[in-house]
C-alpha cells in the first residue's frame, strides 16, 4: 500500500516541484522489517476475518423466514427516525414498541443468546431510537402539545431575538453561530454544539450566559436577567424541546400574530421611477443592516417588498400616493435633522427625490416576486459594475485599464514622473527607466509563456484588457503606494 506526496523546495536555480512515491509504512521502516510488515498485515486480516465469522455465526442459524422478519424489524426502526423528524412522536413510540416486541419473540424462538452480535446490535438500535424520541418529546413522553413545560417559541425565542440576533443572525453569524432558526441552532458554531438536551451544565448556550468577563454572552452588552438565564436553563433541563411548526422557520414565528395582508400594485411601465432600479438598491444598502432578520429595528423589515408595505411597530411607513403622510419619507426627507439612515452618511438628493416620486406614483412594484428576498433580486453596486465590465470588449477593457493608470499613480506619487511600456500581455507603468521596464517586461513575458504552455492557453492577451504592473524605483515609493492605494504597508 502506498500514497503519493508532493515535495516543494527552492534552490538558487529556481523553485522545483517533485512527486514522490512514499510507503504507507515509511514512518515505521526503521523499526519494522519488510517481513514484520507482512506478518502484521496477515494478523490484522485474520482478526477481521475471525470477527466476521463470529458475528455471523448465530445469524446463520436463523431460518429464511426469520432473517426476512429481522430485516423488516430493522427497516421499520429506520422509519422511527423519520417519524421523529416529522414530530409524529406517538406514532414513533408505538412503532418502536411493536418492533421491540417482534424482535424479542424472534430471538426467543431462534434461541439466540443475549451475548450474540445480532441481539446486541439490534438492542442498541432500539435503545438509540428511544433516547432520541425521549429527548424530542421533552424527556417525558406524550406529544409536544401536551407538554406543559417551557415553550421555546413563546418564551425562549423572544429572548434570543432581542439579545442575540444582532450578532448571531442570518445577516451576521459571529463565530459561525446562527440563531435565526432552530435548525441552525442545532448545528452550533465554531465552539461546538450549543445544546445538550436535559443537561444545561453541559450546554454551551447556558454556560456562555454565566461565563466570567469577556467570555460572557451577550458580548459588550448587559448580561441577561437572572430569571431569563434560569428560564433558558430550565428549558434545556426539560429537553430543549422545540414547539414550533417547522425547525427551518425563523425562531418565534409560530408564536407571533399572523401578519396583516398587504395590497401590492404592480407597475405599468409608464412610471418615472422604478422601485427595483431606483429605490431598492440604496434602500437595501442603507437599511438592511438594522431592518432585517428575526428582530428588525422598530419591527420594520426591508427583506421583502411586502415587508416594506406592511410597516413596523408604528404601523404603515408608506401610504401610496401620499409621501407627506408616509413615515418613511418623513424620516429620510422631511425631518430636520434627518433621522434615517441612522449613524450613516445621508442619502443623496436623487435617492430622496426618487423615493418621493415613487410614493407619489402609488408605490408600485416592478419586480417578479413581492414575497421574495429583495437582496437576491437586486444587484449590489459591485455586481452592477461586474456586469458592466463583463460587457466590455477586450479593446475597451484595455482602454479602461490605460485610463486608470495615471489617476491611481497621482494619488500616491504625484511628484514622480512615470514611464509606460506596453507589450502583448502587460502594461508597465512606473518611475524607472525605459530600459528597466524592458528588462522587467522580458521576465514577465517569459512567465506568461510558461502559463500558456501549462494551461494550453493560446489567446493573447493572456488577461482580458492586459495586466497592469506598477513599478517603483525604491522602497519608499512602494510603501507609499501600498499605504495610499491599498491601505496597507
Q: Does residue 55 or residue 405 have the better pLDDT?
A: 405
Among candidate residues 145, 179, 207, the one where a domain is terminated? 145
323 assigned to some structural domain: yes
Does residue 87 share a domain with residue 76? yes
Q: What percent of the chain has pLDDT over 70?
A: 79
Among candidate residues 385, 412, 431, the one where a domain is terminated? 385
Q: Does residue 285 or residue 234 have the better pLDDT?
A: 234
pLDDT at 339 over 90: no
Model confidence over 73-107: pLDDT tens digits?
Answer: 888 888 888 888 777 887 888 888 888 888 878 88
265 assigned to some structural domain: no
Highest-confidence range of 99-103, 127-131, 356-360, by mean pLDDT?
356-360
> Averaged over 101-126, what is the pLDDT?
80
- pTM exceeds 0.85, yes or no: no
Which grid cell is 303? 427583506
pLDDT at 182 over 70: yes
CA distance 23 to 44: 18
140 assigned to some structural domain: yes
Count of structural domains within the chain: 5
Q: What confidence score (pLDDT) does residue 214 get?
A: 80
> Averaged over 369-373, what is the pLDDT?
87
> Averaged over 25-43, what is the pLDDT?
39
Contacts of 281 (CB under 8 A, 6+ apart): 378, 379, 380, 381
Nearest Cα neighbor of 350 from 292, 287, 290, 272 is: 272
Q: What confidence score (pLDDT) does residue 111 get?
A: 79
Q: How many CA atoms lie within 13 A of 20 on its CB side?
A: 10
CA distance 84 to 343: 47
Contacts of 306 (CB under 8 A, 6+ apart): 262, 264, 370, 371
pLDDT at 337 over 80: no
Number of CB atoms found within 10 A of residue 467's CB: 16
Q: What confidence score (pLDDT) does residue 314 get?
A: 66
333 assigned to some structural domain: yes
**Structural domain boundaries enclosing 29:** 2-57
Does residue 66 share a domain with residue 124? yes
Binned at pLDDT 50, 70 and 90, residue 428 comes out as very high
Does residue 477 share a domain with residue 454? yes
Does residue 251 share a domain with residue 312? no
Q: What confidence score (pLDDT) does residue 268 get?
A: 93
260 assigned to some structural domain: no
Does residue 374 share a domain with residue 289? yes
Residue with cell 434615517: 340
- Report the mean per-residue pLDDT for the chain: 78
pLDDT at 387 over 90: no
pLDDT at 417 over 60: yes
Does residue 63 share a domain with residue 50? no
261 assigned to some structural domain: no
Among candidate residues 188, 220, 255, the one where a domain is terminated? 255
Does residue 165 share a domain with residue 113? no
Does residue 285 share a domain with residue 211? no
266 assigned to some structural domain: no
126 assigned to some structural domain: yes
B/e letters for 164-199, b = 16+ CB within 10 Å, e = fewer, are bbbbbbbeebeeebbbbbbebbeebbeeeebbbbbe
Does residue 63 share a domain with residue 51? no
Does residue 366 share a domain with residue 280? yes
Model confidence over 264-309: pLDDT tens digits?
Answer: 999 999 999 999 999 999 888 888 888 887 678 777 888 899 989 9
Does residue 459 share a domain with residue 423? yes
Does residue 481 share a domain with residue 454? yes
Q: What confidence score (pLDDT) does residue 81 get?
A: 81
Amino acid at each position: 500500500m502506498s500514497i503519493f506526496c508532493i515535495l516543494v523546495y527552492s534552490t538558487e536555480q529556481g523553485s522545483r516541484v517533485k512527486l514522490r512515491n512514499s510507503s504507507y509504512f515509511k514512518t515505521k521502516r526503521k523499526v519494522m522489517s519488510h517481513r514484520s510488515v507482512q506478518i502484521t498485515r496477515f494478523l490484522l486480516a485474520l482478526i477481521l476475518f475471525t470477527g466476521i465469522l463470529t458475528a455471523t455465526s448465530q445469524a446463520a442459524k436463523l431460518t429464511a423466514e426469520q432473517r426476512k422478519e429481522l430485516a423488516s424489524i430493522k427497516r421499520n426502526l429506520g422509519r422511527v427516525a423519520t417519524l421523529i423528524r416529522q414530530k409524529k412522536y406517538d406514532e414513533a413510540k408505538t412503532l418502536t414498541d411493536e418492533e421491540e416486541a417482534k424482535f424479542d419473540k424472534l430471538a426467543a424462538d431462534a434461541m439466540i443468546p443475549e451475548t450474540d452480535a445480532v441481539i446486541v446490535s439490534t438492542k442498541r438500535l432500539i435503545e438509540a431510537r428511544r433516547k432520541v424520541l425521549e429527548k424530542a418529546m421533552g424527556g417525558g413522553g406524550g406529544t409536544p402539545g401536551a407538554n406543559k413545560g417551557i415553550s421555546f417559541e413563546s418564551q425562549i425565542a423572544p429572548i434570543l431575538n432581542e439579545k442575540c440576533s444582532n450578532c448571531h443572525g442570518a445577516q451576521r453569524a459571529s463565530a459561525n453561530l446562527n440563531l435565526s432558526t432552530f435548525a441552525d441552532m442545532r448545528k452550533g458554531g465554531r465552539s461546538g454544539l450549543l445544546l445538550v438536551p436535559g443537561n444545561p451544565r453541559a450546554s454551551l448556550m447556558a454556560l456562555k450566559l454565566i461565563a466570567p468577563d469577556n467570555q460572557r454572552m451577550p458580548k459588550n452588552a448587559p448580561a441577561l436577567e437572572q430569571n431569563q438565564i434560569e428560564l433558558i436553563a430550565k428549558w434545556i433541563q426539560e429537553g430543549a424541546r422545540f414547539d414550533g411548526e417547522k425547525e427551518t422557520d425563523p425562531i418565534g414565528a409560530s408564536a407571533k400574530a399572523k401578519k396583516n395582508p398587504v395590497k401590492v400594485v404592480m407597475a405599468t411601465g409608464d412610471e418615472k421611477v422604478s422601485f427595483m432600479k431606483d429605490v431598492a438598491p440604496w434602500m437595501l444598502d442603507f437599511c438592511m443592516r438594522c431592518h432585517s432578520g428575526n428582530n428588525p429595528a422598530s419591527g420594520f423589515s426591508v427583506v421583502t417588498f411586502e415587508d416594506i408595505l406592511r410597516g413596523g411597530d408604528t404601523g404603515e411607513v408608506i401610504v401610496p400616493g401620499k409621501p407627506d403622510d408616509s413615515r418613511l419619507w418623513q424620516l429620510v426627507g422631511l425631518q430636520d435633522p434627518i433621522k434615517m439612515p441612522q449613524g450613516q452618511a445621508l442619502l443623496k438628493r436623487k435617492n430622496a427625490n426618487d423615493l418621493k416620486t415613487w410614493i407619489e406614483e402609488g408605490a408600485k412594484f416592478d419586480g417578479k416576486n413581492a414575497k421574495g428576498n429583495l437582496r437576491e433580486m437586486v444587484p449590489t453596486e459591485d455586481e452592477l459594475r461586474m456586469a458592466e465590465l463583463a460587457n466590455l470588449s477586450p479593446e475597451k477593457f484595455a482602454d479602461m485599464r490605460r485610463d486608470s493608470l495615471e489617476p491611481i499613480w497621482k494619488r500616491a506619487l504625484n511628484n514622480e514622473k512615470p514611464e509606460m511600456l506596453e507589450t502583448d500581455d502587460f502594461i508597465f507603468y512606473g518611475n524607472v527607466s525605459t530600459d528597466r521596464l524592458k528588462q522587467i517586461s522580458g521576465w514577465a513575458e517569459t512567465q506568461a509563456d510558461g502559463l500558456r504552455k501549462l494551461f494550453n492557453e493560446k489567446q493573447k492577451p493572456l488577461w482580458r484588457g492586459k495586466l497592469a504592473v506598477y513599478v517603483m524605483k525604491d522602497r519608499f515609493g512602494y510603501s507609499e503606494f501600498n499605504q495610499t492605494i491599498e491601505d496597507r504597508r
